[in-house]
């Protein structure tokens, strides 16, 4: 992958493009941010992923004249990592994600996350690394505007720190601690 193809500033989503992921909501968000002056009009929404709604999403984005770049499914995980590390914000719009590994990977890359308040990843997100929101594109656009107007490096450090709380080693330590604290049978 040629790194020069990655935009300088962008908003990112990585998901399967299917109905249950509510990916058409991404189009609504892109529509709302299109009218926000403080967000540079060149700032695209980059969507990584494929699925049954891919052609429909592309057609709808073109009809609505939205600044969306569809990069398809990124087979090489290091390519996804490059996008996640360079993104200004990661959007996790799925309403019923069981955990949301892509969102946690975004945090580990130092990228703040906006997620649905109904998804499990909402329990991970705090005010230091993003926001959990209801399905309201106007609210999402406002939060995108707020975060993009703040110091990127502060969010990067806080997002990485939050993700570290959920690393495999930390999870293993917590599990061992639970077993050690358990009374002997």
pTM recorded for the entire structure: 0.83
Which pLDDT does position 36 carry in this prediction?
Answer: 76
For position 14, what pLDDT does the model report?
95
Q: What is the pLDDT of residue 171?
A: 55
What are the structural domains of the chain?
3-181 (3.40.50.2000)
Closest CA to 12 of 57, 48, 58: 48
Helix axes 24-34, 137-148, angle to 10 degrees: 60
- Which residues neighbour 140 within 8 Å (Cβ) at sequence distance 6 or greater? 29, 32, 91, 114, 133
Closest CA to 125 of 138, 144, 151, 106: 106
Query: What does the pLDDT look like over 154-179, one tens digit per residue?
Result: 766 666 666 666 655 665 665 676 66
User: What length does the chain have?
Assistant: 185
What's the confidence (pLDDT) of residue 150? 80
- Whether 135 has a pLDDT exceeding 70, the answer reads yes
Q: Quote the DSSP letter at residue 44.
A: P
Tokens coding 158: 């806080």
| Largest distance between two CA atoms of the chain | 65
């Amino acid at each position: 992958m040629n790194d020069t193809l990655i935009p300088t500033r962008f908003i990112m989503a990585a998901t399967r493009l299917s109905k249950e992921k509510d990916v058409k909501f991404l189009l609504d968000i892109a529509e709302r941010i299109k009218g926000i002056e403080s967000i540079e009009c060149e700032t695209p929404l980059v969507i990584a992923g494929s699925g049954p709604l891919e052609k429909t999403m592309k057609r709808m984005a073109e009809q609505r004249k939205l600044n969306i770049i569809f990069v398809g499914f990124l087979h090489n995980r290091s390519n996804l990592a490059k996008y996640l590390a360079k993104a200004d914000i990661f959007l996790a719009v799925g309403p019923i994600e069981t955990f949301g590994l892509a969102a946690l990977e975004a945090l580990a890359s130092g990228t703040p996350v906006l997620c649905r308040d109904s998804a499990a990843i909402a329990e991970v997100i705090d005010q230091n690394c993003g926001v959990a929101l209801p399905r309201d594109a106007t609210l999402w656009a406002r939060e995108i505007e707020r975060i993009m107007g703040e110091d990127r490096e502060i969010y990067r450090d806080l997002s990485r720190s939050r993700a570290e709380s959920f690393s495999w080693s930390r999870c293993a330590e917590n599990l061992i601690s639970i077993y050690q604290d358990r009374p002997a049978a």
